[in-house]
Each structure stands twice: as C-alpha cells, then as structure tokens.
Amino acid sequence: MTVTDRESPMDLDQIAERAARAARPFAATEPRARAAALVAVADALDARAAELIAIAVRETGLTEPRLAGEVRRTSNQLRLFAEAIVDGAYLDARLDEADPDYVIGPRPDVRRVLEPVGPVLNFAASNFPFAFSVAGGDSAAALAAGCPLIVKAHSGHPELSRRTAEIVSHALAEAGMPDGVFQLVEGQEAGVELLKDDRIRAGSFTGSTRVGVLLADVAASRPRPIPFYGELGSVNPVYATAAAVEADPDLLSGFLASVSGSAGQLCTKPGFLFVPEGAELGDLADAAAGVVEHRLLNPGIGRAFEQRREAVLGAEGVTPLAEGAVRVDEADQRFATPTIVEVDLERLRAQRDELLEESFGPLSVIVRYRDLAELPELHRELFPGNLTSTLHATDADAEAVGDLVDALAETSGRVLFGGWPTGVSVTSAMQHGGPFPATTSDSTSVGTAAITRFLRGVAYQNAPQALLPPPLRDDNPWGIPQRRSAAGRSAGWGRLTGTH
C-alpha cells in the first residue's frame, strides 16, 4: 500500500525516494501495459462508485446525480487516456536516417522520442472530488505518460481521497505496475515541501489564482526550477447579440442553470453575461426563485463566497436583479441561492479591480453594452486570459462578429458558439487552459493533449540498436508509428525553393 498512513508521520523523503525509484521501471513499461492499468483503475472506480459517491456527498455537499456523473466522467477519462496512448502515436517517434549527402553536411542517425519527465506532484482540487482529484485528469495524464505520481489530497474531501487512493493503488499493483508509481500525501505543508524536492520533476494544480501563483513561484525558485501546470482563475465571459437574445427564449434559464449548477463552484462558470442595452431578458428574480439552495463545498469556500457576494452587492452602480441569499447552518456550512447583478459598462471599467475578480459560487454579472462593434476591444482590455469565452449569435450576425471571435480565440482556450461553458466534455479535441491567469502555461488539463505536459524529447544519435529504447528501434517491438526521414530525400529542398 502506497497511501500515507495517518497514524505515523509522513516521511516525505521516503515518499519522494519511492517515486524516484519507480521512475525508470515505469518509464520502461509498454504503452499498452499502462493503458491496461488505466482501464483497470477505471473499472475499479466504477465498481466502487456507490461507496465513493456516498462519502463524496457527505464531504462536499454536491448532489448524488452530479457526483454519479462525475465518477462516470472520471473513469471514462482514464479510458480515454488509455485509448490515447495504446497505439504509441503520442510518443512522436522520429527517425532521421544517417545521410552523407545532407544539405548542411553529413547527417548522423538521429532518433527522437518523447519520454516521461519523472515524478509528478499533483495538487487535487476541491470542486471536482473525482474528475480533478486523486484519480482525475492530471493523474490520468501523468500515469499515461509513464510518470510516477504523488497526489496531494485536497483537505475538503480527505476520506474520499484516501479511499480513492486505496482503490487506485490496488488496481495499479494488480495490473503489474511497479511499486511506488502512485502515492498520496496530505497537508499543505507536505505539498509545498515536496514541490521543493529535487526528485519531483513537474507539478500540476487546479485551484485559486492566489495559491496557484504561490506554488508556481515555489516551482520556479527551486535551485532546479521545474514546470508547473496550474489551472487558476477564469471568469468565462458570455456575449449575446440582440438577435440571439430575441431568438432564444431559453437564454435566461440556460444562463441561470450554468451559474447555479454545483452552486457555481466550477472553473468554467459564466461570471459575466453581456447583452445589448434594452434587450428584454425576462424577470430574473422570478426565474432565480426556482433554484433550490445548494451547499458550498466547505466552510472556507462558503465564507469567501459570502464576503465576495457582499462586496459585489455593495459596489457602486451595481443593481441586484436576483439578490439570492447565503444561509449558515450549525456546522458552519453555507447554503446559497444565485445572486445575479447588473452593471453598466462604464461602472465595470471604473471598478474593474473589485468587479473582475472571480466569484467562486453562484454569482454572475450582467453587463449592458451599446454596440457590438465595441466588444472586441473591450474584451481584449478586460479579459486577457480565460478558460472559455462564449458567443450567442445568429447566422445573420456572422459577419459582424468576426472581430469578436478573433478576440475570444486570442484570449481563451475554448470558444463556444451558443450553449454554456460549464460541463466540459472530455474529448481528444478539448482545450482546458488559456492565457494567464486561466493557466500558468497555455497547456490543457482536460483532454488527451494534456499528456504532453509530462513528456520531454530525448534524441539518440548513432545509437546501436541494442541501446535504443524500444520505440526507436528498427524492429519496432511495440509496433508504434515511426516517422522516418530517409537518407537521400534530404539532399535539397528543391520543391520548396522558389515557391514564392
């Protein structure tokens, strides 16, 4: 068992050492063996879903249907990564044959493959106790890449983290993965100390901008800095044209559902909805009255939301359309109904420091704009980095929104046309990451492209076959795709010369 025992103090040195020792044997496993191990973990989670969901409901206050969907998403995410690595295409194996006639002078035999970076430390999130936690997307990506993984459990769901870790550890061991490929640690201090450990080679994180920036600084100021992939803050603006507001009778209810689902504690919750001045949205107070109150994840997040909500409601020029409420119970847990406010563009600009900050909970701001043409510049100015941006428009708007679409793509990882940004689909084409502060790099933490964060290129020059790693050998024992540049072919770039 590689899960930290609560009874004995954690020996972080020993944990880092086990991860480091696992690095070589794990890196040597065949992709199809790791794929099978990921599927084994997925199967084990599915088999224990009922037990896990019961713990999660108690620890997080999220609803049973939401959590059941999240377990499904999490196990299928593991299967998706299994599928993404099984054929070995992700290794990007490139074989440049030796070429005495190479244009730049004789070329040696050079072969390059992506290899795992080594032990990864993943800080779990509070708001997705499955999909961004112990067996979540970052974990799946690190294990798929062949990196030993240490998960720093989130304090918001400790029992669930430990139970999940037991299941994951057991499934990986049963599937024949080396000892030490998966470990769990608890406590902020332990996480920070491990992030400083020279044996850790990459960090990943999903959480607040404040904590993420602190951890990114720790990673960058080590004697040997390491890459740190943090998914931090995002306010996910949504823009609706006049025609779209008119054409879509469900706009208001869709917006409210996206703002209040999981009590708005989603990194893709729409924090701003821009609609034209004078556009008729319907009675928001009335619509919001139908939303039942939802517990916030834990007392800390509850208190922070309560304060944030009061600050927004108290800001100058802010009009509540649906005031909502926050109720505290005897266990210091908070239960919220959605708060929707309205502000005009000038006020938003003037009070950007107060109003543009992310509100982690069921709160959103409706902004009235005058002219579609002002939105691209406005967006670039106010929203330089987001996970998502959304445009509600009709076919008739297509020409008028071209500039705005460019602005959204420049500043966001995902641009949606209609619909709402919450409910991120886990697919090979998903991008969940964008310019800072959405992420500390432009990489993605959802979808199979996330695996590239934990890989690095290594080239082998003039290596004898016996000393090459399997994906680069001529006999290709793993049967993976190899991109071969034949000798002779590189003697000149005649077909490109003079193409202009």
Minimum Å gap between C-beta 362 and its own copies is: 22
Tell me: does residue 18 bind its own copies (CB under 8 A).
Answer: no
Minimum Å gap between C-beta 493 and its own copies is: 4
The mark string for 144-183 relative to its own copies (x by CB under 8 A, - otherwise) is ------------------------------xxx-------
Minimum Å gap between C-beta 354 and its own copies is: 17
Looking at the chain, how many residues does it have? 500
Please name which of 339, 359, 346 lies closest in space to residue 316, comparing C-alpha atoms: 346
Q: Which stretch binds its own copies (CB under 8 A): 155-163, 307-315, 354-362, 437-445?
A: 437-445
Minimum Å gap between C-beta 180 and its own copies is: 16
Please name which of 193, 203, 86, 221 lies closest in space to residue 142, comparing C-alpha atoms: 203
Rounded to 5°, angle at Cα 121 from 66 and 115: 110
From 30, 267, 342, 358, active-site residue? 267
Q: Which is nearer to its own copies, 290 or 492 (CB)?
A: 492
In whole angstroms, give the CA distance from residue 36 to residue 82: 7
Burial 457-493 (b: 16+ CB within 10 A, else e): eeebeebeeeebbbbbbeeeebebebeeeeeeebeee
Minimum Å gap between C-beta 310 and its own copies is: 27
371 in helix, strand or coil? coil
- Residue 48 has phi, psi (to 5 degrees) of -105, 15
Name which of residues 26 to 45 contact its own copies (CB under 8 A). Answer: 32, 35-37, 39-40, 42-43
- In the annotation, is 399 catalytic? no
Instruction: Indicate which single residue of 120, 449, 451, 480 sits in contact with its own copies (rule: CB under 8 A).
Output: 449
Binding residues for its own copies, how many (CB under 8 A)?
A: 107
Minimum Å gap between C-beta 498 and its own copies is: 7
Question: Is 149 within 8 Å of 120 (Cβ atoms)?
Answer: yes
Tell me: does residue 475 bind its own copies (CB under 8 A).
Answer: no
4 in helix, strand or coil? coil
Name which of residues 86 to 115 contact its own copies (CB under 8 A). Answer: 86, 92, 94-96, 102-105, 107-108, 110-112, 115
Please name which of 93, 97, 99 lies closest in space to residue 476, comparing C-alpha atoms: 93
Q: Which is nearer to its own copies, 8 or 497 (CB)?
A: 497
From 30, 59, 70, 231, active-site residue? 231
Tell me: does residue 120 bind its own copies (CB under 8 A).
Answer: no
- What's the helix, strand, coil split of the chain in %, to 5? 40, 20, 40
User: And the tokens for 121?
Assistant: 């430390």
Minimum Å gap between C-beta 115 and its own copies is: 7
H or E stretch at 95: strand 93-96
- In the annotation, is 231 catalytic? yes
- Residue 191 has phi, psi (to 5 degrees) of -60, -45
In whole angstroms, give the CA distance from residue 178 to residue 23: 9
Instruction: Indicate which single residue of 226, 326, 366, 375 sits in contact with its own copies (rule: CB under 8 A).
Output: 226
The mark string for 391-420 relative to its own copies (x by CB under 8 A, - otherwise) is ----x--x--xx--xx--xx-xxxxxxxx-
Label each residue of 260-281 as H, E or C. HHHHHCCCCCCCEEEEECCCCC
Name which of residues 255 to 314 contact its own copies (CB under 8 A). Answer: none
DSSP character string of 131-174: TTSTTSHHHHHHHHHT--EEEE--TTSHHHHHHHHHHHHHHHHH
Minimum Å gap between C-beta 303 and its own copies is: 27
Q: Which is nearer to its own copies, 60 or 412 (CB)?
A: 412
> E-assigned strands of 195-281?
202-206, 228-231, 238-240, 272-276
Instruction: Indicate which single residue of 220, 325, 328, 396 sits in contact with its own copies (rule: CB under 8 A).
Output: 220
Q: Which is nearer to its own copies, 361 or 470 (CB)?
A: 470
Burial 110-123 (b: 16+ CB within 10 A, else e): bbbbbbbbbbbbbb
**Residue 113 one-letter amino acid:** V
Instruction: Indicate which single residue of 204, 337, 443, 445 sits in contact with its own copies (rule: CB under 8 A).
Output: 443
Tell me: does residue 63 bind its own copies (CB under 8 A).
Answer: no
Tell me: does residue 65 bind its own copies (CB under 8 A).
Answer: no
**Residue 432 one-letter amino acid:** H
Instruction: Indicate which single residue of 431, 445, 451, 480 sits in contact with its own copies (rule: CB under 8 A).
Output: 431
H or E stretch at 141: helix 137-145
Tell me: does residue 207 bind its own copies (CB under 8 A).
Answer: no
Tell me: does residue 338 bind its own copies (CB under 8 A).
Answer: no
Minimum Å gap between C-beta 331 and its own copies is: 32
Q: Which is nearer to its own copies, 8 or 221 (CB)?
A: 221
DSSP 425: -
Catalytic residues: 231, 267
